[in-house]
Structure 1
Amino acid sequence: MSISLFGVPTEFDVIVIGGGPAGATTAGLLAKAGRRVLVLDRERFPRYHIGESLIPAVMRPMEELGLTERLDARGFERKYGGTLVWGNNQIPWNFSFIKGGPYAYAYHTRRADFDALILDRARELGAYVLEDATVKEPISEDGRVVGVTFTVRGAEQQVRQARAHLVVDASGQARVLSRRFTEATWHEELRNVAVWSYFDNCERLPGDEWTNILIEGIDDGWFWAIPIDKDRQSVGYVTRSELAGDNNGSLPELFHEKWQQTTKLRQLMRNARQSGGFRSARDWSYTNRDFYGKGWVLVGDTAAFVDPLFSTGVALATLAGSVLSKIIDEILRRPEIETEALARYGAAYRAFFDEIRIFVERFYDRSRYKEFYFSLAQELVDPEHRDEPSAAFVRLISGLSGNHPLFTIRLDDLGVKNKLPAGAS
């Protein structure tokens, strides 16, 4: 096996493009299973990323990676639920994760630290991780992706190669491979813009709501407030793109104008001091037409992303990474099942994503009462009405939608028809 300048082999079982939560989870669990994995990321960790509030579904892959104790050790604050000012009468109401499944809490995190924690764990488990590495092109042979070319910061003139049986695109919204091999469908109902910043000296919600995320709706959009540290909060405003206009420079003005229309948030921020600049993002809700092809597969935000109303991004990405790692491990054992196995992954992943997307789209109707939102969740995750509607609501927004097909993909029946019984010729 040839060795590159950096002491990294050039041939692998799997190459993962992107070292964020989806890519690092996929790579770490494949390495844990004994597979030779290369992770390429164009940035150096820790690096900034939005999405600081997590939901309980993220705990399943964190357990598999052996990271649950480290999350507490890093000082991330446990998140036990949420407080909403939402619906017809605008009266605040709460939900608690303990009502929705086996995980009673998730975390609010500093994403730079959280993402670096998962990527470092992938290293510990045996994955090769190369940061400051920009993927340039896929390497294709006979219509199949068999590797990638990439450059390393400071030596861009030298184009390097790495080859593998499968290439996983976990590059987030950069969509390194998906831009080449498939097309994204943007969800018109969720064409939004977000503008956010950070504030010190914020007050907290009272009593049992102390660690809750606050989601407060106003006429033209909604605010989030995420307690990251003792008195520091991430605060953002989300509205329709057409209402925000085309000039990003006006978004801070829009933030301050709309903040004055809130009630609970304005109370929490009455003595707050802004401690960072404004950032923004636009038009982020989409699904790719294809989730896989010959020699490649998508995971995380590269495959699909939905509006951040319920903080589903990281959980969906890491859950999908966990599932994909098991599927790839089996494909490497039995290459003949690749197409059918990835087809099952793609179908289940799309269905899980669509379940959340449909709920978020309908939740945006704030003319309803909370009981409507509970019943809507029950239609999606508990059509037999086995539990209370409120429990179905918590289970859905926890990312733990019962025995969803994404978590129960079977592969043992694949390839059976091609096998001959013992002694047959």
Structure 2
Amino acid sequence: MSSTLYGIPEHFDVIVIGGGPAGATTAGLLAQRGRSVLVLDRERFPRYHVGESLIPAFMRPMQELGLPERMDARGFERKYGGSLVWGNKQVPWQFSFIKGGAHAYAYHTRRADLDSLILDRARELGAYIIEDATVKEPLQNSEGRVTGIRFTVRGEEDMKEATAGLVIDASGQARVLSRRFTDLRWHDELRNVAIWTYFDNCERLPGDEYTNILIEGLDDGWFWAIPIDKGTISVGYVTRSSTVGESDKSLQEHFEAEVAKSTKLKKMLAPGRRSAGFRTARDWSYHSDRFHGDGWVLVGDAAAFVDPLFSTGVALATLAGSVLSKIVDKIIEYPEIEEKALDRYATAYSGFFDEIREFVERFYDRSKYKEFYYSLAQEMIDPDKEREPSADFVTLISGLSGRHPMFNISLDDLVPGGVGEAGAEAGAPSERAESTEAAS
């Protein structure tokens, strides 16, 4: 690759495939630590993406990047909680994030704006960014270790190469490396289909629910309604793939018929008008059977994705990116710990994903009352019952169960001369600087 054409070197500490939230967060935090990072994305930002509603756990990595003030300055809509029509007889209820942890709010946002903000911050921190770049294949040495990538740039015919000590696949559902090196495990209980669009001039929820996301359950599925800004609402309908497959209706017909059956949503949409076409996605919940291999590691949707019921996707991706940046930084310093360090990352990440997935699967039982869902959350993250069940519910759906190993991965015993080198328990929390513990 010609370094004079782009003004960048040919070798990096890390190459990140994908400039979305997972990739940009990982790259930005590594660059902040003084590591050389190349990010390649096949799109030119800003670009459209679904997933406009965020949860408080997302604020942790954004604070590390120094971005919350910029989000407010850009006019992102603060999100203080959620309103649900869910459970036995579809009784309305709501929750407030302030009850669940250190972060009282997250945001609703147009993802094009959010993703550009994070990627621009990674660039500002020193990461090299090439957009309109399509990764074609990994480079591998004679032992099969991934040592870099081959890619093309839009409008140019020649193939380019870049090498690195480690390649991170953050390419989302494109799964550039994941597709080559791993298999997916689909979660049959969450094999759903979604159809969504946008409405202008809608009525907002009343009073202190004004900034809430609305989640409204019906007999065969559920709706989201996300107030992206003062005039536009994202509205999506999620149902079982099998339900759609057994019907003569189109997805749009399903959407319109179910809106007519809704209560809160129908009232919100009454004065509005649809301002965009329909988009669809299927089979959203999956899990890669491996999260890393020789010279490569997965983060974000390239690794796993869970049903969007509680808007966990971006938070899970950026939290994992934050944790991975700390681990990779230590691997660069001590290359001999790579396999064991990434094993701990994979185990913790997979466990955190499974905790969210299990809760979502059980929450889909709409025959219960809200107290059941509260108790379910307490059972999962607070078995000693140190807090009220309602607080545990908010903590869990905020992504802030900070005792989880995901937030406390220690590499002390792997680092030469580190505490507990002779036999510390894998993944045990540590008070030393090598711990990846996130601030609450």
Q: Which stretches in structure 1 are left out of the alignment for 5+ residues?
A: none
**Corresponding residue for residue 392 of structure 2:** 392
- The residue correspondences of 1:181-196 to structure 2 (distance < 5 A) are 181-196=181-196
- The change in CA–CA distance for 1:248 and 1:208 in structure 2 (over 3 A counts) is farther
User: What TM-score does the superposition give when structure 1 sets the normalisation length?
Assistant: 0.96
**C-alpha RMSD over aligned residues:** 1.7
Give the equivalent residue in structure 1 for 2:133. Answer: 133
Q: State the alpha-carbon separation in 1 of the partners of residues 203 and 415 from structure 2.
A: 59
User: Structure 2: 5+ residue runs without aligned partners?
Assistant: 422-440
Residue 152 of structure 1 aligns with which residue?
153
What SS class does the counterpart of residue 147 from structure 2 fall into? strand
Distance 1:396 1:48 in 2: 28
- Equivalents in 1 of 2:170, 2:4: separation in Å? 23
Residue 347 (1) aligns with residue 359 (2) = no
State how 1:22-101 maps to structure 2 within 5 Å: 22-101=22-101
Partner of 1:216: 216
Distance 2:244 2:274 in 1: 22
- Determine if contact 1:138/1:177 at 8 Å carries over to the other structure: yes
Cα displacement (A) at 1:412:
1.2
**Corresponding residue for residue 299 of structure 1:** 299
Shift in CA distance, 263/418, structure 1 to aligned 2, threshold 3 Å: closer
What's the CA shift for 1:90? 1.2
**Share of identical aligned residues, percent?**
72
Quick one: distance in 2 between partners of 1:135 and 1:246? 38
In the superposition, relative to structure 1, how do residues 159 and 397 fare at CA in structure 2: closer, same or farther (>3 Å)? same
2:314 partner letter:
V
Q: 1:222 to 1:418 in 2, by over 3 A?
A: closer
Cα distance, 1:248 vs structure 2: 11
- Structure 2 counterpart of 1:13: 13
SS in structure 2 at match of 1:5: helix
Alpha-carbon separation, structure 1, partners of 2:136 and 2:150: 5
Deviates more, 1:3-12 or 1:369-378: 3-12
Match of 2:285 in 1: 285
The residue aligned with 1:262 is 262
Give the aligned residue type for 1:414: L
Distance 1:177 1:370, change over 3 A: same
Pairwise CA distance, 1:89 = 2.4
SS at match of 1:357: helix
Could you tell me which amino acid in structure 1 is paired with residue 251 of structure 2?
A: L
| Residues 1:368 and 2:368 aligned together | yes
Displacement, 1:25? 0.1
1:386-411 deviations in whole A, cap 9, x for unaligned? 00111110000000013211111000
Secondary structure of the residue aligned to 2:44 is coil
Amino acid at match of 2:145: R
Per the TM alignment, residue 38 of structure 1 is displaced from its structure 2 partner at its CA by 0.1
The AA in structure 1 aligned to 2:343 is: A
Alignment: residue pair count? 419
Q: Distance in 1 between matches of 2:66 and 2:283?
A: 35
Distance 1:33 1:248, change over 3 A: farther
Give 1:249 shift.
Answer: 8.9
Could you tell me how far apart the structure 2 residues matched to 1:198 and 1:249 are?
21
Aligned to 1:325: 325
CA distance in structure 2 between the partners assigned to 1:126 and 1:367 by the alignment = 51
CA distance in 2, matches of 1:94, 1:356: 20
Q: Tell me the CA shift for residue 57 of structure 1.
A: 0.3
Do the aligned partners of 1:146 and 1:164 also contact (CA within 8 Å) in 2? yes
2:412–2:418 Cα contact (<8 Å) kept: no
Which shifted more, 259-268 or 241-250?
241-250
Cα distance in 1 for partners of 2:178, 2:4 equals: 27
SS of structure 1 residue aligned to 2:392 = helix
Report runs of 4+ in structure 1 exceeding 2 Å deviation: 245-249, 415-419
Q: Is the 8 A contact 1:99 1:394 kept in 2?
A: yes
> Does the 8 Å CA contact 1:58/1:106 hold for their aligned counterparts?
yes
Residues 3, 277 of structure 1: CA spacing in aligned structure 2 closer, same or farther, 3 A cutoff?
same
Query: What is the distance in 2 between the residues matched to 1:234 and 1:43?
Result: 23
CA-CA distance at 1:416 after TM superposition: 4.0
Report deviation, 1:229. Answer: 1.3
Deviations 1:186-227 (A, max 9, x none): 000000000000001100111100000000000000000000
SS in 2 for 1:385: coil
Aligned to 1:105: 105
- Contact kept, 8 Å, 2:47 with 2:112, in 1: the verdict is yes
User: Following the alignment from structure 2 to structure 1, what is the Cα–Cα distance between the partners of residues 265 and 231?
Assistant: 14
Contact 2:38 2:128 in 1 (8 A): yes
2:430 aligns with none
